[in-house]
Structure 1
Amino acid sequence: MLKETQEGTLIYVLVKPNAKKTEIEGVDTWKKRIRISVKAPPVKGKANRELVNFLQGLLNAEVILVRGETSREKELLIKGLKVEEVKRKLNL
């Protein structure tokens, strides 16, 4: 779900596009991913952009999509933040 690296924290996410609102739904303990709903459709990267912007707003840090551009399962890098800071800011 979260893994600390030299550059920051890797966060593993399961995205649900076309949702009523953009929000963190909870943690999928079976897949070990954070479930996040986004309002945007999965067309031309709109859902990815909304996800990155949403997390940047919550975390006040640069967020980079590392893996999963066309998948619901994504890996993002939160630059400059440690795991504990990310957990605290996301209320995990």
Structure 2
Amino acid sequence: MWYDEKTEGYVDLYISARPNSGKNAFAGIYDDSLKIYIKAPAVEGAANKELVKFLSKSFKIPKSEILFLSGETGKRKRIRLPLNEKVEEFIHGKQGK
């Protein structure tokens, strides 16, 4: 499963980040991960910062509330977000199927 809702009020997303892409975009669900293209390079945390900015903007969540639980230096990451309407729609809507 590419997400986990065990912690009340939060959701953990398993993300496969693809840095150095032409744009920031959701690419779909692959191998139990949400694949996300990130335009920033994987140098000195630039891709992680861009990923947090993209998630913050996409889900209307403050950047300070997006936490890396694991994978900060790898391509597969586990990120915790507060569960709001936008995140719920994304998980249980068309993207999550």
TM-score normalised according to structure 2 size? 0.81
Maintained 8 Å contact 2:15/2:34: yes
Q: Which runs of 5+ in 2 are unaligned?
A: none
Q: Which runs of 5+ in 1 are unaligned?
A: none
| Sequence identity (%) | 32
**Which residue number corresponds to residue 80 of structure 2?**
77
TM-score normalised according to structure 1 size? 0.85
The count of corresponding residues between Structure 1 and Structure 2 is: 88
Q: Which structure shows the bigger proportion of residues in helix conformation?
A: 2
Divergent runs of 4+, >2 A: none
Q: Which structure shows the bigger proportion of residues in strand conformation?
A: 1
Query: 1: distance between equivalents of 2:51 and 2:17?
Result: 8
Matched residue of 2:49: which SS? helix
**Letter of the 2:26 counterpart:** I
Structure of greater relative contact order (alpha carbons < 8 Å, 6+ residues apart): 1
Query: 2: distance between equivalents of 1:69 and 1:2?
Result: 17
Pick the aligned partner of 1:66 from 64, 69, 77: 69
Maintained 8 Å contact 1:58/1:89: no
Q: What's the CA shift string for 1:35-85, capped at 9, x where partnerless?
A: 000000000000001001100111112311111011000000002x06x75
Give RMSD over aligned pairs.
1.8
